[in-house]
Structure 1
Amino acid sequence: MHCWLACAWLLVGVIAPSAAADPLTTGTPLWFEANRPSLQAQQAVQILLAVANDGLDPHHYQATDLGQAVVQASAGPALDPGQQARLDAALTQAMQHYLNDLSRGRVNPSQIKANFSLPNQPATDLTTWLSTAVREQRLHAAVAQLANQAPMAAPLRQALAAYRALIPHPAWQSPLAPLPGRKLEAGQAYAGLPLLAQRLQALGDLASGTPTAERLEGELLEALKHFQERHGLSPDGVLGAKTWQQLNITPEQRAEQIALSLERLRWTPLRQAARMVVVNVPEFVLRAYEVQDGRIHVKLSMKVIVGKALDTRTPLFDEEMRFIEFSPYWNIPPSIARQETVPHLRADPGYLARQGMEFVTANGQVVTHFAPEHLAAVLSGAWRIRQRPGPQNALGDIKFVFPNNSNIYLHHTPSPGLFERDRRDFSHGCIRVQDPVALAKFVLQDDPGWPEERIRSAMASGKSSTLRLAQPLTVLIAYSTVVVKGGRVFFYPDLYGHDRLLARALRQHAATLPPQALPNGRIP
């Protein structure tokens, strides 16, 4: 038996199962014309051999073995119908396996703490989709369209190729020289400047051909600031420990980070509604956008503050915004009351009045004076504490409500100075927005009864009121440590360790795949 045929027999049994019609029963091969592999079959093999461009592994789709089988079937003796059917089935199943991974991802988002409401049924029937693309001889174009269907997919694939091309670059073949002290500031000399300049040139932060500097100054200093900006650091031009760490991350590691971001895009529901508000947690940024003719148009972007990485992380999910509360009360969550508010009141009873707080009994009665037994009632769960609307209110003067099991919402803050920090994980889990008026205008843009003046008036009234939205608006809390903006690639720290979780889940997924067929037709 020829090697390719042995491989094909093995592949039929080891590639992920598919709902495709079995060529052995239909008698109509998908990939053959006149008893030879068609041009579409050759294109399919080329596609499978190039899946690394999508951040996938060609070995998972038996690309090499199928490629050899198709070449030999094209140049060797004509195949009998049974041989054709077996090779045809193997190539069909490999392509469907790849297309499923490309369009839907390889792991369940819930495995990595992403509770997105994904559709029960896939939007695309891959069996019909593949058959149609092959019959119409547009496989390459159709796969390219599928690969780039998610927002940011095309620029991320370009970034992946660019960083992979840098892997053998000489700038990373030797380590940077140790810093002369704890940090290197503007104007100081440093033996590692030539290698630093080489890396910054390779990354596009420093113009090629820039003369070598003996001190950290001029164009080199500005390039370092650009690098810092692209890596979630304060662009102060100081080469300290955090900047040093980012400079020493290799292009190979960056490529892996980009591949993880591509994987996330496959199941992050960024196009599920015509208008959306999306928070990217590691970037500390909120974007409000509209989808028109399949394209995303960003209408608004602002800084946000998210949950502390240590103990109060903001969860990832999507829900419908249904209410806006103006001049809201802050009903202090029981966990915060137990751990923070009650101890504070026990030590300083006057804190209750100064912060505009009050007790609320089980039957809704409001108690504004302090007594030790009131704290006991709070700790037992019989009473709660809330903060009245006003300048001290932790929610600021507006709250955007999208009901969810985690009691997470968007709100303003009486401490706007925190938005000037580069790292902004300070909250108990809820998300503080930098420009609440702009966000309210976006949410209410189709309601002529709520111009900006009325929004500001309701926020400043000091009297709590709730507005039910006529049309709910999707809010998505997402997670991507790589973002392409204006053609520049930005990297952000893995704030909550979700990239590590995803990498581990992908390794576990790969371990569950059947053994790979070797070119000699044997399975190890």
Structure 2
Amino acid sequence: MRCWLICTWLFLGVLGPSAAADLLTTAPPLWFDADRPSVQAQQAVQLLLNAADEGLEPQHYQATSLSQAVTRASADPALTPTQQVQLDATLTRAMEHYLSDLSQGRVNPGRVKANFSTPIAHAADIPAWLRDAVREQRLGAAVAQLATQAPMAAPLRQALSHYRALGQHPAWQSPLPALPGRKLEAGQTYVGLPLLAQRLQVLKDLAADTPVPPRLELEGELITALMRFQERHGLTPDGVLGRRTLRQLNITPAQRAEQMALSLERMRWTPLRQAARMVVVNVPEFVLRAYEVQNGKINVKLTMKVIVGKALDTRTPLFDEDMRFIEFSPYWNIPPSIARQETVPKLRADPGYLAHQDMEFVTASGQVVTSMAPDHLDAVLSGSWRIRQRPGPKNALGDIKFVFPNNDNIFLHHTPSPGLFERDRRDFSHGCIRVQEPVALAKFVLQDDPDWPEERIRAAMTSGQSNTLRLTQPVTVLIAYSTVVVKAGRVFFYPDLYGHDRLLAKALRQHAATLTP
């Protein structure tokens, strides 16, 4: 901080030469050894030059000009004390900026519709942290520890580097030709087949030595490779080249690299390691993972499909909370908005819908009313009564509900409609999250409670009697958003379901515009 002040005062002309000299005697430069930049200074500028490897922008940290300045100072040590202070302060300021971005991210998550209560751990005092790392000559190792330590960060960095290297590949110098019809199926001819094969080979979905069919027909290994590509891009893997698949094929490696950089940015402020056990839902992937953190390593114990809120109007919010209760054979207390917009109109059209769906009214005093009358519906619309669905096979929550109290009234639950899990795109809910394997999730949550073996869990789920269990050991639930996931060395891309990637990209552009050159 003192270097910053000296440099600023010198630039503003506040300090005279003698005053500057006095201060210089009490604040030795951080990055100089005798009159030359130290080894740590060389490491620092290299870190800044390589900021793109972390999904950051080297120009935001004056990487090129600092590298040139340090190189000149190393070759010609005849810098005046004032010039040393200026270079030292500029490099310090750039490194502190870089370390802040690297550990905390560049954008406040609240600006991009993410409400995480517990931020990812980072160095509380970056200037002091930096001084200690430099003086102990461990800058490189310390920065590596400070970088994003999320479960998929390391393979995502590798994928980012690979896709950036493909930026000028000839396979993407021109788009694939338009399809001859609405879609291209097995046996049909396509003039763009050689270019298609080249792209699939570069992306490692097709073996490099696979020949292109001489008659340019979609067949054999090309179909299999197309299915691999579709699987990796959130598409139905049917081996048919339709418009959605063609659109994904025409996205350039540079655009994919930007998508990865957005995912790395989110990981910096998404609390993926805040607890020993966590349940994480990745919304665009439609997947839940339950894992434990042991000795700093992530051990995934459970993976399953989920159904999330509709992209159009009932999006699942992003936040983290502790799961504190499990409700077996739950009632479904229909939210007022759903009651007004959906349930009441159905009851007006068909009064028998109440009994058929095992529903009932609950008055303000808690009295249960099972009869149907127009006055009852008016009471619901006024907010004095509510509608609930009794436990049983028709209950919209299925037979178990995982509760982590939050302002949005979002929870995990089972569903009586498991067929929807077979869809590739699974945004069908009103915001809550339906889980494919509720028993497995309950076993994970209750694994340390010997009073709740699988047999008792299943019995409680099917009893028909609502029962709420308070967890002795709460489990953190994190609802996250990443459109890029690396699985077993393969990179998977998912559609920007809620437009959060677009929102984050815009926020980052706005942030960049505020930076002082």
| TM-score of the two chains, using structure 1 as the length reference | 0.93
Residue identity in the other structure for 1:307: G
Residue identity in the other structure for 1:130: L
* Secondary structure at 1:324 match in 2: strand
Give how far 1:69 is off.
1.4
Residue identity in the other structure for 2:403: V
Q: Distance in 2 between matches of 1:148 and 1:112?
A: 19
Structure 2 equivalent of residue 137 of structure 1: 137
Residue identity in the other structure for 2:431: G
Q: Distance in 2 between matches of 1:117 and 1:224?
A: 42
Structure 1 equivalent of residue 180 of structure 2: 180
- Equivalent in 263, 280, 283 of residue 282 of structure 2: 280
For the 8 Å contact 1:163–1:252, the answer to whether it is kept is yes
For the 8 Å contact 2:400–2:438, the answer to whether it is kept is yes
For the 8 Å contact 2:308–2:315, the answer to whether it is kept is yes
Q: Is the alpha carbon distance of 1:119 and 1:260 closer, same or farther for their aligned partners in structure 2, counting shifts above 3 Å? A: closer
* Secondary structure at 2:473 match in 1: strand
For the 8 Å contact 2:120–2:268, the answer to whether it is kept is no
Residue by residue over 1:177-208, the C-alpha shift from the partner in whole angstroms, topping out at 9 and shown as x without a partner, is 21111001122221111110000001110010
- RMSD value over aligned CA atoms? 1.8
Q: Is the alpha carbon distance of 1:254 and 1:499 closer, same or farther for their aligned partners in structure 2, counting shifts above 3 Å? A: same
Q: Distance in 1 between matches of 2:326 and 2:394?
A: 19
Structure 2 equivalent of residue 522 of structure 1: none
Aligned residues: 501
Structure 2 equivalent of residue 19 of structure 1: none
For the 8 Å contact 1:398–1:411, the answer to whether it is kept is yes
Correspondence 1:316-331 to 2 at 5 A: 316-331=318-333
Q: Is the alpha carbon distance of 1:311 and 1:336 closer, same or farther for their aligned partners in structure 2, counting shifts above 3 Å? A: same
Give how far 1:68 is off.
1.6
Q: Distance in 2 between matches of 1:23 and 1:508?
A: 38
For the 8 Å contact 1:23–1:89, the answer to whether it is kept is no
Structure 2 equivalent of residue 503 of structure 1: 505
Give how far 1:494 is off.
0.2
Structure 1 equivalent of residue 56 of structure 2: 56
Q: Distance in 2 between matches of 1:138 and 1:360?
A: 65
* Secondary structure at 1:344 match in 2: helix
Q: Distance in 1 between matches of 2:489 and 2:122?
A: 31
Correspondence 1:315-354 to 2 at 5 A: 315-354=317-356
Q: Is the alpha carbon distance of 1:356 and 1:23 closer, same or farther for their aligned partners in structure 2, counting shifts above 3 Å? A: farther
The sequence identity of aligned pairs, in percent, is 79
Q: Is the alpha carbon distance of 1:268 and 1:119 closer, same or farther for their aligned partners in structure 2, counting shifts above 3 Å? A: closer
Residue identity in the other structure for 1:300: L
Correspondence 1:287-436 to 2 at 5 A: 287-436=289-438
- Equivalent in 231, 234, 258 of residue 233 of structure 2: 231
Structure 2 equivalent of residue 206 of structure 1: 206
For the 8 Å contact 1:24–1:86, the answer to whether it is kept is no
Residue by residue over 1:131-188, the C-alpha shift from the partner in whole angstroms, topping out at 9 and shown as x without a partner, is 2221222222222232242221111111111111111111111221211110011222
Q: Distance in 2 between matches of 1:371 and 1:162?
A: 65
Give how far 1:130 is off.
1.5
Q: Distance in 1 between matches of 2:200 and 2:143?
A: 35
Give how far 1:244 is off.
1.0
* Secondary structure at 2:322 match in 1: strand
Give how far 1:129 is off.
2.3
Q: Distance in 2 between matches of 1:271 and 1:373?
A: 52
For the 8 Å contact 2:331–2:388, the answer to whether it is kept is yes
**For structure 1, which segment, 270-279 or 85-94, has the greater mean C-alpha deviation from structure 2 after superposition?**
85-94
Residue identity in the other structure for 1:374: H
Q: Is the alpha carbon distance of 1:453 and 1:249 closer, same or farther for their aligned partners in structure 2, counting shifts above 3 Å? A: same
Structure 2 equivalent of residue 67 of structure 1: 67
- Equivalent in 493, 496, 503 of residue 494 of structure 1: 496
Give how far 1:120 is off.
10
* Secondary structure at 1:266 match in 2: helix
* Secondary structure at 2:191 match in 1: coil
Give how far 1:478 is off.
0.3
Structure 2 equivalent of residue 83 of structure 1: 83
Q: Distance in 1 between matches of 2:10 and 2:69?
A: 13
For the 8 Å contact 1:326–1:459, the answer to whether it is kept is yes
Name structure 1 gaps, 5 residues minimum.
1-7, 15-21, 517-524
Give how far 1:435 is off.
0.2
Structure 1 equivalent of residue 45 of structure 2: 45
For the 8 Å contact 1:12–1:90, the answer to whether it is kept is no
Residue by residue over 1:17-59, the C-alpha shift from the partner in whole angstroms, topping out at 9 and shown as x without a partner, is xxxxx98584221111111101111111111111111111111
For the 8 Å contact 1:287–1:298, the answer to whether it is kept is yes
Q: Is the alpha carbon distance of 1:152 and 1:119 closer, same or farther for their aligned partners in structure 2, counting shifts above 3 Å? A: closer
Structure 1 equivalent of residue 29 of structure 2: 29
Q: Distance in 1 between matches of 2:137 and 2:200?
A: 44
Q: Distance in 2 between matches of 1:400 and 1:206?
A: 43
Q: Distance in 2 between matches of 1:256 and 1:215?
A: 34
Give how far 1:127 is off.
2.1
Give how far 1:510 is off.
0.6
For the 8 Å contact 1:257–1:481, the answer to whether it is kept is yes
Q: Distance in 2 between matches of 1:308 and 1:233?
A: 18
**For structure 1, which segment, 85-94 or 505-514, has the greater mean C-alpha deviation from structure 2 after superposition?**
85-94
- Compare relative contact order (CA 8 Å, sep 6+) and give the higher one, 1 or 2: 1
Structure 1 equivalent of residue 218 of structure 2: 216
For the 8 Å contact 1:278–1:477, the answer to whether it is kept is yes
For the 8 Å contact 1:322–1:401, the answer to whether it is kept is yes
Structure 2 equivalent of residue 473 of structure 1: 475
* Secondary structure at 1:423 match in 2: coil
